[in-house]
């Protein structure tokens, strides 16, 4: 949402997954009583995101991901200032 609304540079790591299927409704199977979830909506994205997550522009090293936000802000500001955008295939 931040990228499409504001053109934000996304920094960090991929999310663990994203909701391609939403509005999951419980449905009880009559024979077993087992409850399963049936989605009523599907979101279509440009690239696969289910169990992959949303890609970022700038990946942070794993040791930085564990730092508190107040320590990360100056590091991220420097990284974003030097960022020229994704590479092109020209």
Question: Both tokens of residue 6?
Answer: 């504001």
The Cα–Cα gap between 23 and 41 comes to 6
Q: State mean pLDDT over 39-57.
A: 81
CB of 38 within 8 A of CB of 27? yes
- pLDDT tens figures, 5-34: 667 778 888 877 767 888 999 999 999 999
Return the higher-pLDDT residue of 9 and 88.
Answer: 9
pLDDT band at 1 (very low <50, low <70, confident <90, very high): low
According to DSSP, residue 16 is labeled S
Is the pLDDT at 45 greater than 60? The verdict is yes
Residue located via tokens 């994205």: 45
Residue 36 host element (H or E): strand 35-42
What is the model's pLDDT at position 4?
63
Instruction: Give the 3-state secondary structure of residue 81.
Output: helix
């Amino acid at each position: 949402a931040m990228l499409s609304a504001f053109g934000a540079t996304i920094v960090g790591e991929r999310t663990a997954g994203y909701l391609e299927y939403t509005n999951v409704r419980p449905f009880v199977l009559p024979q077993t009583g087992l409850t399963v979830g049936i989605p009523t909506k599907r979101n279509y994205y440009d690239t696969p995101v289910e169990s992959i997550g949303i890609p970022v522009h700038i990946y942070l090293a794993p040791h930085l991901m564990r730092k508190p936000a107040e320590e990360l802000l100056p590091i991220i500001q420097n990284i974003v200032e030097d960022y020229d955008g994704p590479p092109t295939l020209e």
